[in-house]
Structure 1
């Protein structure tokens, strides 16, 4: 099991959380996605390490941006 945190910019409401959760959750191998709206942190759990670009692309598809912390 692998858990990685990503800082996401632009999320402001529950819809944002749902969109990011749905897109990131659709990546093959992802087992859980937790979004903390207040901090902008997205915690992704997966069976094996994920390709960071795949996560960035999924967040982008949801309309937000992963920022380097």
Structure 2
């Protein structure tokens, strides 16, 4: 498995600080799954990943924490890991798998 970093983000410039974690709460109930994502280093990264995943059908909440690389996804039904992987890839990061 090849690890890629998000070289196109502001994170490479040192202009981002680390945040406390980006959270997108759409409804707040359902199945919760925690994923490990590589390449997140700041609040911008957390927001990018959270926004892409929150756009998936059935997702009710997303909490991304750059410090740990963990992304907690709450959904109304189980979401295929490959669907989550595609959303994380779209944001410019790599889904390692479930945490």
Unpaired segments ≥5 residues, structure 2: 1-29
Q: In the alignment, which residue of structure 1 is the partner of 2:43?
A: 14
Larger % of strand: which?
1
Count residues in correspondence.
69
Larger % of helix: which?
1
Moved over 4 A (4+): none
Structure number with bigger Rg = 2
- Where 1:31 maps in the other structure, the secondary structure is strand
Q: In the alignment, which residue of structure 1 is the partner of 2:57?
A: 28
Match of 1:50 among 79, 82, 93: 79
- TM-score w.r.t. structure 2 length? 0.67
- TM-score w.r.t. structure 1 length? 0.95
Q: In the alignment, which residue of structure 2 is the partner of 1:38?
A: 67
Larger RCO (CA under 8 A, 6+ residues apart): 1
